Amino acid sequence: MSAPLPKRIIKETERLQNEPVPGISAEPHEENARYFDVWVDGPDGSCYEGGKFNLELFLPDDYPMCPPRIRFLTRIYHPNIDRLGRICLDVLKNNWSPALQIRTILLSIQALLGAPNPEDPLNEAVAKQWKENQPEAIKTAREWTQLYAQKK
Amino acid sequence: MADLDQRPHKKRRFFVDDSPSQDPSLSAEPSLPDEVNDLPKSPSLQRQQTGDAAERDKENVFDGETFKAFTGASPPEDTILSLQQTFGKDLERAINAYFDGSWKNTPAPPSSSRTPSASTYRSSPFGKPSSTIQTTPQANASPRASATPAPPKPAALGSMPTKRYIGALGVAGWTTKSGTGLLKPDDTIKIERQKQAIQQKAGRGGKFKQVVRKTQDMIVRFTNGRGEEVGRLEKEAAMWISTLLDQKLCIFEGHCIFAPERIRTNDTVYLQLKCFLLRSAFEAGNFVKPAENNRETGIFEAKETSDERDLRLRQVALVKLFSEINLQPSKINETTAKHKREGILQAAEVAEQYDQQDTKKSKGNTPENGGSSPPSEENEEGEELEQDQLDSLYRKAQSFDFDTPEAQPADSFTMDLRKYQKQALHWMVAKETSQKQEHKEMSMHPLWEEYPWPIKDADDKDLPAVDGQDCFYVNPYSGELGLDFPVQEQTCLGGILADEMGLGKTIEMLSLVHSHRSPEQEATMSGAKADAIASLPRLGRNSSGVEYAPATTLVVAPMSLLAQWASEAEKASKDGTLRVLIYYGSDKNINLPTLCSAANAASAPNVIITSYGTVLSEFNAVASMDGNRGSHGGLFSLDYWRIILDEAHMIKNRQSKTAKACYELAAKHRWVLTGTPIVNRLEDLFSLIRFLRVEPWSNFSFWKTFITVPFEKGDFVRALDVVQTVLEPIVLRRTKDMKTPDGEALVPLPPKTVEIEHVKLSDPEREVYELIFARAKKAFSANMEAGTLMKSYTTIFAQILRLRQSCCHPMLTRNKQIVAEEEDAAAAADVANGLADDMDLTALLERFQADEGEQDASRFGSHVLKQIQDESDMECPICSEEPMEEQAVTGCWHSACKKCLLDYIEHQSSKGELPRCFNCREPINARDVFEVVRHEDEDFGDEDTKALVSAFGAGDEEDEDLYNSTQSAKKKDAAKRITLRRVNALSSAKINTLLTQLKRLRKSDQVLKTVVFSQFTSFLDLLGPALTSAGITWLRFDGSMSQKERARVLSDFANRPKFTVLFLSLRAGGVGLNLTCAKRVFMMDPWWSFAVEAQAIDRVHRMGQTDEVKVTRFVVEGSIEEKMLKVQDRKKFLASSLGMMSEDEKKTQRIEDIRELLS
């Protein structure tokens, strides 16, 4: 990372820290300002409520032309998130636009926790369970949240 | 049909008996009926000076003695009697009649008293006649038996007789008859010239057919004492003898030296001819001097007029004659001595070749040439000069002595002159007044030669001398003969001021205008009222209809420089000391002769400035009035005190109408100003010399003989030597890099830096470039293999032109008017335009299609404007810059920085995705991106300081509601109006780079003036809008503008108190202009030779420039332009060592260049 940090990243970082979004935090690593340590609260009223989810976020060189790369570090039971924490979300793929920001992306992820979409699954097993036996799936999700997503 | 000009083939001898009937044409041509054969044979070989007293008594008739003396003949008394009866006192007529034979209708018995002259033939008749029989009068002095006793030394005559002996020569002839007793040695023969009328031949059915002679008629017959035609002279001699006879220069008398006893047709006989120059040959008006009658023949003249042709024949004939009779000049001019006759013959030969080529060529284009075709279209002759030849030419003229005296300009001249300029003034004044200083002994005119009249004839008999006429004079270049000593005419009272551009030729000239005035003007200046009569305005004109304008200097300059001349003239003069008149276009409704006459000297304009075009059009007008200068009332009705031709290489082509027009302007002093007296041919210089009337060089025949012909024959050293001697006395040339003896520059100029900006093409541009490049290369290799490179030179050149254009902007390659900007491109363009764009290229180029122009944002409704305006101060959603840089909007009206927006579209396209709006995800494309253009400073440029403020403080005031701005508030108006301009997303790298640099410059210096050169006016067409969109004010100066527009543009550019860019086409801006108000120069594209670019740069970096000049040359990386720079370098390096390359070698060299360009 020899190139100077683009103005946009500096501004975004400043704003994330000065005007934080409730339930979301993102801290850049000291040694790499493009690498963020992210915490997202499970939305109220969802099966992830009460959980604090850890993610890692990386801004590639051609950001904001390309979307940030982001992944759950905390294990989570969700039809659109796979075992490795990868997220299936349109704005992180085809629907990315440079007008989106870290903040908006994290809000989208938070919203995704509130509204799982088994019709566009990334994790087939979870999606199947979700469609065939939703109460059971939600129960599992709650258990996992209890199990993995608690503040240390 | 046998051509009778030719001697029949020798083999005829073997059919002797048949020969008369075998060749019907021979027998079909009897001696013509109107030929009088009983003419008494001129008994000229005798010099009987015995007078006959009986004749003298007759007071009322001419004196027979005189007649004899004049004719040098002694006709029988009855002949004289009959002449006397016929002509009475009129001796001259009688003599003429005697010689032309017209007296013969009075019966005269054939001469019987003729005494055969002593045999003068001493050599073997079988030898070559020209070498063995040819004798000089001196050589003839060998002792021999003379049949007639030598007469006493003849009395000297008072004046030139009708004919005078100059020498004898031997010639061979061939007989056209057979028989015995036709001719025997010592028989007197008569040499006759029978111009053949167009022969009428009996065709079949008794009809007469006209036979047009294809060859020139030059048959010279000889007849025997009975007047029977015996034969003809051999062709070689007949050629020139016929000319001498036809042009009435000479007559010949002859006798037979050898003839076979029995003559058969086509036998060779040897004759001795005595040649007499006729008095009429010396009389003026014998022929028209070609040099002086330009006006009369100039308008519709073919390459060589019939006058010129006659002259040429005459020149050759005289030279031949003198060489045959071995007559040597006793005195000739030094310069001419070296080269001489051989030169004339060579020149004539060359002219003949031209002649032949031209008759072929000229058929098609002669009629059109009658119009006012611009000089460029008229073909030029002469070979081009190589740079090193030019250099060596100039070297001599440039050996400027820094110690030459200086002159102080008159008080009325306000400018300070530098030392070298004062020296120029001194030199010029000296040139103008040189006749007063020349008290040298009368020297002979350099074109003439002096010949002594022989004092003894071929028979060693004394010839009558003529008082005061021991010699006669010949001008072999004009063919003139003279009896009076030809005095060297006054040299030209002017010259060529060839100081290099930027040394201040204009100022030097103006100082001369102030400092050397005519006596008439001095008289009015000194305030002393000239006598009452002279001060009365009058219309008096001298006989030629040309009014002397003693107070007036005429300046002829290219149209673009008229205003500059006027303003410099005013700047350089104290108020009221110089009246300047621009005589151009509609401003010329004045009667110049009245205005400028000597009588009005006190109020006449001192300087009239006009354009070459005006001179040409008035010339045509005067010519159409049959050359009546006086009644025209324009430029040609005056005889000026002085004429100055500025940028005089405008008349370099002596055949051009403009040049001819300028030659006709009359003046006491004539000057030409040019930085390049020779552009590329030696003939360029001739035209200047011709204008200056430098004798003898203004005679083209002379020039051709000593300069053109040797040069074209490859005798460069000799030709250039001569040119140097011509130039030396009339040229003053200093160059900017000259150093004074103390090592100081002649003109210290602020430094100049030239740097190269390497431009990188965008990918789409690259694609276009590569496609054209590949194609050019393919064409080159294909032609290379097929060995047709030379033939397809233009095609390849056209491809290269396209390549160079694509470096500027891909769209240029589609422009139909790419040409007229490049010399060779004229032809190339057609080829280029004919190259069909295949689909690949069309597709590539479509992306560069020019936009539809500006659109007023109000068209889209107020909410859009509101939105755009709202967004303008926000940060860019893509890069977070705040406010946005060069706000641009999508078709769905979402704003971002232009660059961010375009980058994103590019990014998506490169991934193969359909570009969508970053905001609303509507599909968008690059062509639908609009740049928001604010018109803060639109009508600004006057002293409107408010506008200035708003221009520079624009950002702060923009919050005003746009609704108002577009609908009502016209007053606040301009500052708030916005328009949307389609972003040419795929603009060119060069344009972008230029904009970036200009914007940076504007930030650092808000009143900087910049000049941008391109050789492609079509590129300038694209640059203009690009600058407008960036809010940069610009002006443009090109060849298509009228004089008024040009002047306005130049003054605008100089006077605007703000950052301004001037676009100039490399061509239009190459000469003369003074742009020292600018400090920065951008060269958008390289030219083949850096010299041309350097000349353009010197518009800015020239005298008067006070600051450092920075030049940026744009060169596209990894393109043909980079290679062009290499070629430029190599040319600089080779220039001195190339030497004399032939045309083919040059072409090969160019192909080498192209190979390198395409490598």
ipTM: 0.88
Interface contact B880-A95, CB threshold 8 A: no
Residues 911-940 of B with CB under 8 A from A: 913, 916-919, 921
Shared-domain flag, residues B562 and B481? no
Chain B environment of A98 (Cβ under 8 Å)? 877-878, 900, 904, 918
Tens digits of residue pLDDT in B128-174:
333 333 333 443 433 443 344 444 555 566 677 778 888 888 888 88
pLDDT of B463: 77
Lowest pLDDT segment from B917-931, B1024-1038, B1111-1125: B917-931
Shared-domain flag, residues B462 and B420? no
Instruction: Let me know if residue B800 belongs to a domain.
Output: yes
Higher pLDDT, residue B1159 or B537: B1159
Shared-domain flag, residues B691 and B786? no
What are the distances in angstroms from CA B936 to CA B665, B897, B974? Answer: 54, 19, 6
Q: Distance between CA atoms of B421 and B409, rounded to whole angstroms?
A: 10
Shared-domain flag, residues B843 and B789? yes
Shared-domain flag, residues B672 and B815? no
Instruction: Let me know if residue B1009 belongs to a domain.
Output: no
Residue pointed to by tokens 């605008």: B1052
By Cβ distance, the residue of A7, A64, A99 closest to B919 is: A99
Contact in structure between B457 and B140 (CB atoms under 8 Å): yes
Shared-domain flag, residues B135 and B280? yes
Percent of chain A whose predicted confidence (pLDDT) is above 90: 45
pLDDT band at B829 (very low <50, low <70, confident <90, very high): very low
Nearest 5°: phi and psi at B393? -65, -45
DSSP, res B599: G
Domain endpoint, select from B799, B822, B849:
B849
B101-108 long-range Cβ contacts below 8 angstroms, 24+ apart: B101/B36, B101/B39, B104/B36, B104/B38, B104/B39, B106/B82, B107/B82, B108/B38, B108/B40, B108/B76, B108/B78, B108/B79, B108/B82
What are the distances in angstroms from CA B31 to CA A104, B49, B104, B176, B745? Answer: 121, 35, 17, 11, 81
Tens digits of residue pLDDT in B634-665:
888 888 899 999 988 888 888 888 888 998 88
Residue B617 has pLDDT above 80, yes or no: yes
Q: Which neighbouring-strand residues pair with B254?
A: B189, B273
Shared-domain flag, residues B133 and B27? yes
Higher pLDDT, residue B1091 or B90: B1091
Return the active site residues of A: 88
Lowest pLDDT segment from B194-203, B1040-1049, B1138-1147: B194-203
For B1041, left (φ over 0), alpha (ψ -120 to 50), or beta?
Answer: beta
Q: Cα distance from B879 to chain A (closest Cα, Å)? A: 5
By Cβ distance, the residue of B880, B918, B921 closest to A7 is: B880
CB atoms within 10 A of CB B875: 17
Tens digits of residue pLDDT in B672-729:
998 777 767 777 888 888 898 887 777 787 788 778 777 777 777 777 777 777 777 7
| Closest alpha carbon to A42 in A109, A89, A87 | A109
Q: What does the block give as tokens for B91? A: 């001796």
Chain A environment of B912 (Cβ under 8 Å)? none
Residue numbers in chain A where pLDDT is lower than 70:
1-3, 151-152
pLDDT of B146: 39
Higher pLDDT, residue B138 or B591: B591
- Please tell me the total count of domains within chain B: 4
Shared-domain flag, residues B831 and B953? no
Q: Distance between CA atoms of B577 and B566, rounded to whole angstroms?
A: 14
Higher pLDDT, residue B385 or B1154: B1154
Interface contact A98-B880, CB threshold 8 A: no
Residue B409 half-sphere exposure toward CB, CA atoms < 13 A: 25
pLDDT of B133: 37
Residues 107-126 of A with CB under 8 A from B: none
What's the rounded mean pLDDT across residues B60-88?
59
What are the distances in angstroms from CA B476 to CA B90, B319, B321, B473? Answer: 33, 7, 12, 9
pLDDT band at B822 (very low <50, low <70, confident <90, very high): very low
Q: What's the CATH fold of domain A7-148? A: Ubiquitin Conjugating Enzyme (3.10.110)
Cβ contacts of residue B1062 below 8 Å, gap of 6+? B1009, B1010, B1011, B1012, B1034, B1035, B1036, B1037, B1049, B1053, B1075, B1078
Instruction: Let me know if residue B1069 belongs to a domain.
Output: no
Shared-domain flag, residues B574 and B659? yes
DSSP, res A122: S
CB atoms within 10 A of CB B924: 23
Shared-domain flag, residues B11 and B39? yes
> Where in the sequence is the domain holding B687, given as residue range(s)?
387-396+416-432+489-523+544-732
The vertex-A96 CA angle with A95 and A101, nearest 5°, equals 140
Q: Where are the beta strands (DSSP E) in B118-249?
A: 163-175, 179-180, 188-193, 200-202, 208-210, 220-223, 229-233
Shared-domain flag, residues B795 and B666? no
Cβ contacts of residue B849 below 8 Å, gap of 6+? B811
Cβ contacts of residue B752 below 8 Å, gap of 6+? B1097, B1101, B1108, B1109, B1110, B1111
Considering only CA atoms, give the Rg of chain A.
16
Contact in structure between B76 and B106 (CB atoms under 8 Å): no
Q: Which neighbouring-strand residues pair with B1010?
A: B1061, B1080
pLDDT of B860: 54
Percent of chain B whose predicted confidence (pLDDT) is above 70: 58
Q: Distance between CA atoms of B84 and B58, rounded to whole angstroms?
A: 10
Interface contact B918-A99, CB threshold 8 A: yes
Domain endpoint, select from B960, B983, B1006:
B983
Interface contact B879-A95, CB threshold 8 A: no
Model pTM above 0.90: no
Instruction: Let me know if residue B62 belongs to a domain.
Output: no
Contact in structure between B262 and B183 (CB atoms under 8 Å): no
Q: What does the block give as tokens for B745? A: 């520059």
Q: What does the block give as tokens for B826? A: 């004229």
| Closest alpha carbon to B73 in B98, B27, B42, B106 | B42
Shared-domain flag, residues B728 and B872? no
Q: Distance between CA atoms of B190 and B101, rounded to whole angstroms?
A: 12
Nearest 5°: phi and psi at B100? -85, 0
Q: Distance between CA atoms of A118 and A133, rounded to whole angstroms?
A: 12
For B889, left (φ over 0), alpha (ψ -120 to 50), or beta?
Answer: beta
pLDDT of B1062: 93
Q: What is the mean pLDDT of chain B?
A: 69
Decide: helix, strand or coil at residue B612. helix
CB atoms within 10 A of CB B677: 26
Instruction: Let me know if residue B40 belongs to a domain.
Output: yes
pLDDT band at B782 (very low <50, low <70, confident <90, very high): confident
Lowest pLDDT segment from A96-105, B90-99, B124-133, B274-283: B124-133
Going across the sheet that includes B449-452, the strands are: B331-332, B449-452, B471-475, B480-482
Instruction: Let me know if residue B359 belongs to a domain.
Output: no
What are the distances in angstroms from CA B295 to CA B290, B622, B640, B665? Answer: 10, 10, 19, 11
What CATH number corresponds to the domain at position B665? 3.40.50.10810
